[in-house]
Amino acid sequence: MHRRTARGALVIGVAAVLAVAGCSSKSTDSGSSGNSTSGSSSSGLSIQPTVLLDAEGNEVPGGDVTDAANPAGTGNATCSGVSLAMAGALTGANSALGQNILYGAKLAIDKHNKANPNCQVTIKTFDTEGDPQKATQVAPNIVSDQSVIGLLGPAFSGETKATGSIFNQAGLPFLTASATNPTLTENGWTTFFRGLGNDNSQGSVVAKYLTGSLGAKKVCVVEDDSDYGVGLAKVVTAGLGAAADPACSASVKAGQKDFAATVSQIKGESPDAIWYSGYYAEAAPFVTQLREGGVTATFSSGDGTNDPEFVKQAGAAAKDAVLTCPCIPAPPALAKEYEALNGQAPGVYSVEGYDLTTIMLAAIDSGIKDRAGLLSFVKGYSGQGVGKKYQWNDKGELSNALIQIYKVN
C-alpha cells in the first residue's frame, strides 16, 4: 500500500501556507466538535471521547488545562539557523494519522513564530508513507541536515524500529507522538522519547474496560501484521485472560480488503466483543464486512483506528464502535485554534504533536542551538501539557500514562 518513494523535505515557512503532498487524501468534511477527535462524517457519525482512565483503569477527570505550556513563550526569544523535522506518513493509506501530528506541530510553530519575531523556527517534513523501508531511505537526509536539532517522529512503530539506531547514533533527539510498541524503549537508544503511553499501558486498560465496563465474557482478538498490531494484540490478549477466545483469534495483513474467512470464524464463536489491533485502512472494511455478515458484537480497536477516516470509510457500520488511545483529545479552545489554521478538526495525536513541538520550541527559546543541548533539555524536562504532564524516565517513557476511551455515535 506504500508505493511512492519519499522525496526529501518540505520546509514550512514562517508565514507561508503549509502545503503537504498528499494532504488531499485527508477528509476535510469534519466540523468543529469541541474536544471530539472527529467531526461528523457523511453518515452523521463521529468519534466522541467518553471517559479518561489512568494506568489502573480508574476514571480520572478530564477538561481544559489552564497551566499547559504555551509555545509562544515570553515573546523575547532570539535564534537563528535552527529547525525541527517531522517524519511520518503524510501520504498513503494511513496518512491521516501522520497529518494529525504535523498539523499539531504546525499550530505550535505558528503561535511561537507570531510571538517571537527574532526567533523564526521552521519544520522540515519527511514523508515515510508509514513504511519502514521508506523511512530508512529518508532517515539519512534528516540526520545529515545539521540545522535540524530535534525530530518529531517517526509516527509508526515499525518505521521507528527501523530508523531509531540511525537517529540515536547521530545524537538527534526524536520524540514520537504515536509509536506505541513497548519494545522501542528496550533498544538502548538514549535520544528517544515517547509522548504517550505505550501498548502495555493501553492494552491492559483496554482489557479491563472490555471485561469490566462493557461486561464482555468472550472476546475475539484480531491483529494485523505490523509491529504495532502484533504488540498491542499480545498485551490485550494477556490482559483479557480467559475472556480471550483462542478459537476466534485471527491475523490479517496490512492492505487486506477481503475478510470473509475471518468474519466466518468470528461469527461461529458468537463473541460479546471483537478487539482489532491495526490501522483504520483495514479496520473500516473489516467492520463493514462483520456487520454485513451478521456479526453484532461490539467492535473495539486502538489508536491506529481512531481517526475520522475510519468513520468516513466504514459509514454506518462504525456505529457504536469503541476506540481507545493513550492520547488526549483537544480541548475546545485549542481545537478552535487548530481548525482555524488547518481547516479541519484535530484528530488522534494532534495534541501530542502540539505538545512535543512546544517542548522543543521551549528548548530553542532558552538559547539551545544544537542536538546535544536539546537532548539535555528534554531529559530534564518536567512540565504540564494539554491534558497530561510530560516527564520521562531514563528509557524515554512517560512517567504517567492516561488512556482515553471513545465511542462512535
Q: What is the pLDDT of residues 349-384, one digit of tens each?
A: 999 999 999 999 999 999 999 999 999 999 999 999
Confidence of residue 190 (pLDDT cuts 50, 70, 90): very high
pTM: 0.82
pLDDT(33) > 50:
no
Average pLDDT over residues 227-253: 96
φ, ψ dihedrals at 5, nearest 5°: -90, 135
Distance between start and end Cα atoms, the chain: 29
Which class is domain 200-325? alpha beta
Give the mean pLDDT of the chain. 89
Where are the domains positioned within the chain?
Answer: 9-29+61-198+329-399, 200-325
pLDDT (0 to 100) of residue 344: 94
Q: Percentage of residues in the chain with pLDDT exceeding 90?
A: 81
pLDDT(35) > 60:
no
pLDDT (0 to 100) of residue 217: 98
Largest distance between two CA atoms of the chain? 65
pLDDT (0 to 100) of residue 7: 34
- Collapsing DSSP states into helix, strand and coil, what is residue 300? strand
Task: State pLDDT tens for residues 88-131.
Answer: 999 998 899 999 999 999 999 999 999 999 999 999 999 999 99
9-29+61-198+329-399 with 200-325: one CATH topology? Answer: yes
What pairing do the DSSP bridges indicate for beta strands 59-60 and 47-54?
antiparallel
Closest to 55 measured CA to CA, from 232, 202, 231 = 202
9-29+61-198+329-399, superfamily in CATH? Response regulator (3.40.50.2300)
pLDDT (0 to 100) of residue 41: 57
Average pLDDT over residues 223-247: 96
- In 61-207, DSSP assigns E strands to 83-88, 122-127, 148-152, 174-176, 192-194
CA–CA–CA angle 54, 338, 113 (5° rounding)? 110
DSSP one-letter string for 349-386: THHHHHHHHHHHHHHHHTT--SHHHHHHHHHT--EE-S
Among 22-36, 149-163, 225-239, 389-403, which is the least confidently predicted range? Answer: 22-36
pLDDT(13) > 50:
no
